[in-house]
Chains A and B, each alone.
Chain A
């Protein structure tokens, strides 16, 4: 038997990992691919509805407020802040994964903590934005904003906005929960005993995906 094993040297002949990744990480990739189709379906249905409608509200007129801004109205400012928070938290997540490669427990804990802070900051911003829009009269099923040319708008705009940013926000929330669990496991030394920090990489993949989706949501809702 042993001689037959050593003669089988092809990638798919057994005895080695053909993709050279751990099982859990590969499955995380396939989960994220399916999740990409879910978000893709949401965004494409939004696009289809927009293409099927004569007029649409102007995002620069709707998203123009920020906390403590009073009556100053600056479009794009607040959402830019949210975008940069998410990019920076993605960077700290990569750094946490990077420290994990060197088995540096303190480094991983530090960067994971910063990532969690970034995620919470983003969720706080989103909570503020939703509350603000709600007080302006926007919610599922009601839309106070006229179209860009002043004509009567439909509730499609708010329905899609709250559904898609809500679904994304839920992903951010679950990402924060996953990162908190990872941080507890790091601090308890679970990965040191296990001998590798591959679990941080899987949590990292999920977190980057959340950032990736925001790139699309940000562009589709706030910019174009």
Chain B
């Protein structure tokens, strides 16, 4: 056990130190502020006529900022960038399964919705019923669960 710890001495002083920590903190803060600004834009758009393409575009940009933030947290705060390449790969490569998960499941949900709207005549009509105002009674069980 002891010699393992000695060989780990190397690990300690790899990485950028305090300077890097502050740099990443500023990046994360700026990215969050940009996300919030995009959120405010999105909020005002949805009150208007709702240009669907613009809404999807803004949401896509928000997702890109989300992934960039995740990268900075994992790479620098969790120090993964300063580990050995082989170890990074054992963690990052399995996560690529998410690419398939996300595409397959969202596409499945979408096609379920389209089929339901197309082949279940009552479904579309039911989903266009307006909700009565001030429905605050918790006992009222909902038919569309």
Tell me, yes or no, whether A165 is within 8 Å of chain B by CB: no
The answer to whether A22 touches B8, judged by C-beta atoms less than 8 angstroms apart, is: yes
B20-50 to A contact mask, C-beta < 8 Å, 1/0: 0100010011001001101110110010000
Tell me, yes or no, whether A128 is within 8 Å of chain B by CB: no
Tell me, yes or no, whether A83 is within 8 Å of chain B by CB: yes
With A and B bound together, what is the CA distance between A223 and B34 in angstroms? 12
Tell me, yes or no, whether A98 is within 8 Å of chain B by CB: yes
Contact of B8 among A11, A17, A83 (CB under 8 A): A17
The answer to whether A94 touches B21, judged by C-beta atoms less than 8 angstroms apart, is: yes
Chain A residues positioned under 8 Å from B78 (CB to CB): 204-205, 208-209, 212
With A and B bound together, what is the CA distance between A145 and B41 in angstroms? 22
The answer to whether B46 touches A219, judged by C-beta atoms less than 8 angstroms apart, is: no
Interface residues on A, range: 35 or more
Would A33 and B46 be within 8 Å (CB), given that A19-B84, A54-B124 are in contact?
no
- How far, in Å, is B135 (CB) from chain A's closest CB? 6
The answer to whether A223 touches B35, judged by C-beta atoms less than 8 angstroms apart, is: yes
Tell me, yes or no, whether A139 is within 8 Å of chain B by CB: yes
Tell me, yes or no, whether A7 is within 8 Å of chain B by CB: no
Who on chain A is nearest to B130 by CB? Answer: A150
The answer to whether B105 touches A48, judged by C-beta atoms less than 8 angstroms apart, is: yes
Chain B residues positioned under 8 Å from A215 (CB to CB): 66, 69-70, 73
Tell me, yes or no, whether A106 is within 8 Å of chain B by CB: no
Would A101 and B109 be within 8 Å (CB), given that A151-B128, A211-B73, A219-B62 are in contact?
no
Would A212 and B74 be within 8 Å (CB), given that A26-B87, A91-B25, A147-B131 are in contact?
yes
The answer to whether A91 touches B43, judged by C-beta atoms less than 8 angstroms apart, is: no
Chain A residues positioned under 8 Å from B84 (CB to CB): 18-21
A139-178 to B contact mask, C-beta < 8 Å, 1/0: 1011110111011111100000000000000000000000
Residues facing A in B70-105 (CB within 8 A) are: 70, 73-74, 77-79, 83-84, 86-87, 90-91, 94-95, 97-98, 101-102, 105
Would A151 and B21 be within 8 Å (CB), given that A54-B113, A87-B32, A219-B35 are in contact?
no
Chain B residues positioned under 8 Å from A29 (CB to CB): 87, 91
Chain B residues positioned under 8 Å from A154 (CB to CB): 142, 144-145
Tell me, yes or no, whether B138 is within 8 Å of chain A by CB: yes
Who on chain B is nearest to A213 by CB? Answer: B70
Chain B residues positioned under 8 Å from A192 (CB to CB): none
The answer to whether B87 touches A21, judged by C-beta atoms less than 8 angstroms apart, is: yes
- Identify the A interface with B (CB < 8 A): 11, 16-23, 26, 29-30, 33, 36-37, 40-41, 44-45, 47-55, 58, 60, 75-76, 80, 83-84, 87, 90-91, 93-95, 98, 101, 136-137, 139, 141-144, 146-148, 150-155, 195-196, 198, 201, 204-205, 208-209, 211-212, 215-216, 219, 222-224
- Identify the B interface with A (CB < 8 A): 4-5, 7-8, 10-13, 17-18, 21, 25, 28-29, 32, 35-36, 38-40, 42-43, 46, 59, 62-63, 66, 69-70, 73-74, 77-79, 83-84, 86-87, 90-91, 94-95, 97-98, 101-102, 105-106, 108-110, 112-113, 116-117, 124, 126-131, 135-138, 140, 142, 144-145
A selection of 13 A-B contacts at a CB cut-off of 8 Å is A21-B8, A47-B102, A48-B105, A48-B108, A49-B109, A51-B109, A52-B112, A84-B29, A91-B21, A153-B131, A208-B77, A212-B74, A216-B70
